[in-house]
Amino acid sequence: MLNKRRAGILLHISSLPGGGIQGDLGQEAYHFVNFLADAGITVWQTLPLGMTHADRSPYQCLSAHAGNPLFINMDWLANKGWLPLSARDYQNASNSDKAYLTGMAFQGFLERADPQEKEQFARFCKTQAFWLDDFALFIALRNEFNQLCWIQWPEHFKERDTKAIKEACRRLNVEIEKTKFEQYVFFRQWLELKAYAKQRGVLLFGDIPIFVSYDSADVWANRQVFKLDESGQMSVVTGVPPDYFSAKGQRWGNPHYDWEYLKDTGFRWWVERMHTQLELFDILRIDHFRGLEAAWEIPAEEETAIHGQWVKAPGEELLNAIKAEHGSIPLVAEDLGVITPEVVELRDEFGLPGMKILQFAFGSGPDNPYLPNNYEKNCVVYTGTHDNDTTLGWSQALSEEEKRFTYEYLGNPSMPLHCALIHAALASVANLAIIPMQDVLELDSSHRMNVPGTVEGNWQWRFQWDQLSHERAARLAHLVKLFNRN
């Protein structure tokens, strides 16, 4: 899949148009697939699909497996006959409204679904039980304890006392089954979209955060996988060291893996995680790939990342275990930042394409690895990512000297700079060129998806079809064809 020239668009599901406060897996998703296919674009990249915390960050989820039930499309449920007609006025449903409506749909499913549908649900629960049982109970308990992190739950639930867990499964059975139903519907809707995308020649490109949230079903149910003390508290957390951009580094606060335990168990937790993601996606990106070679580990009591240390990870053994289980996997390594020769060696040993960001290309001379003349075919080039400014916003912030150098390199002085970067990405030798939807629409900084290091206002951007003029769509299709990416 990654050995031929392709073009792709980066757009998260939450950014699709439509009613409510975020996009979903309804008709707008299918319209977007049609737009891609009509333009000759064969890759749709999203952010992680998981169930988020209140901050809506898809990189800190409640499960490494579960899909976000807020992406469930209500029309689909109504068309199944599981929502009564009186519940069909949900075009602008809030998140709490959606939770209520999926609860109604579950009751309708129990009352009106045909035997074949109920058998499919039972089969889903059985095949996904390796994560679904723990997740559904985790959500039921978390709701019961007012969204508190599991470490703050009553001791017998925090410690997963067998008797207490058995009693909770009985007492919360309806809530547990409702959560399983939500996941069944999410997977059904996603896989139907994936099948449609395949029919139209579009591959789905997913994203795996290397670390998981401490407040997650994964950590609660698999404490031995992570470096926790006897009480379940984190002994160390992950991050990145101080650098040019941050004097104190970044303290992410995620638990680090107990790699020795994972090795002893054949990396089973990771292999199962990959199993779920490969069901959902055709291509996968591993976020912070360098953490599979060594990760910056910080004592949990430290408030900054300054006093951390690099801790080696068995990346080669892990990737071999995944390969042995799943065969050759189209993985992309997010290899941005300070990358050592060891990280490059690990990436190249498995033939994984790395990432090139054009917004990083024009500041440090001709050896800059993000300049297109330094690319090899086996890479993925972006104008920018979800963490970058939009390319129009980036170009507006450049000094006149920086603009002059960039134009001199790109050789397109008559073209707006943000358009010249799209042109350069598609023209490059990189096998895959990905353009964020904001850049296709030529939007400024007020439309960016995320500002790293901030917690307010992120992950909320959405586009509208009237922003995509016929001229913009035609020009994009022309460039995709011109540079042989269709």
Give the whole-angstrom CA distance, residue 14 versus residue 424.
Answer: 28
Q: Which residues in the chain show pLDDT less than 70?
A: 87-89, 91
For residue 323, the 8-state DSSP code is H
Q: Are 4 and 429 in contact (CB under 8 A)?
A: no
Q: pLDDT for 61-116, tens place per residue?
A: 999 999 999 999 999 999 999 998 776 667 677 778 888 999 999 999 999 999 99
What's at 297, amino acid-wise? Answer: E
Calculate the alpha carbon distances from 314 to 80, 258, 293, 319 in Å: 47, 11, 7, 9
Residue 27, number of CB atoms within 10 A of its CB: 13
Name the strand (E) or helix (H) holding 453: none
The predicted structure's pLDDT at residue 117 = 97
User: What string of H, E and C letters represents the secondary structure of 399-452?
Assistant: CHHHHHHHHHHHCCCCCCHHHHHHHHHHHCCCCEEEEEHHHHCCCCHHHCCCCC
Half-sphere exposure of 424 (CA within 13 A, CB side): 32
Return the DSSP state at 256: P
The predicted pLDDT at position 88 comes to 65
pLDDT of residue 359: 97
The predicted-structure confidence for 296-307, as pLDDT tens digits, reads as follows 999 999 999 999
Q: What is the pLDDT of residue 87?
A: 64
| Predicted structure pTM score | 0.96
Q: Which two tokens stand for residue 72?
A: 């469930």
How many CA atoms within 13 Å lie on the side-chain side of 470?
Answer: 0
Greatest C-alpha distance within the chain: 72
Give the integer Cα–Cα distance in Å for 415 and 22: 34
pLDDT at position 382 is: 98
Distance in angstroms (rounded) separating the CA atoms of residues 275 and 119: 22
99 to each of 50, 68, 104, 289, how far by Cα in Å? 16, 11, 9, 35
**pLDDT one-digit tens code per residue, 434-462:** 999 999 999 999 999 999 888 889 999 99
CB 156 within 8 A of CB 113: no
Q: State which amino acid sits at residue 360.
A: F
The catalytic site residues sit at 287, 334, 387
On the 0-12 / 13-18 / 19+ scale of CB atoms within 10 A, 313 is buried
Distance separating alpha carbons of residues 450 and 431, to the nearest angstrom: 26
| Burial class of residue 474 in the structure, from the number of CB atoms within 10 Å of its CB (0-12 exposed, 13-18 middle, 19+ buried) | exposed
User: In 10 A of CB 392, how many CB atoms?
Assistant: 21
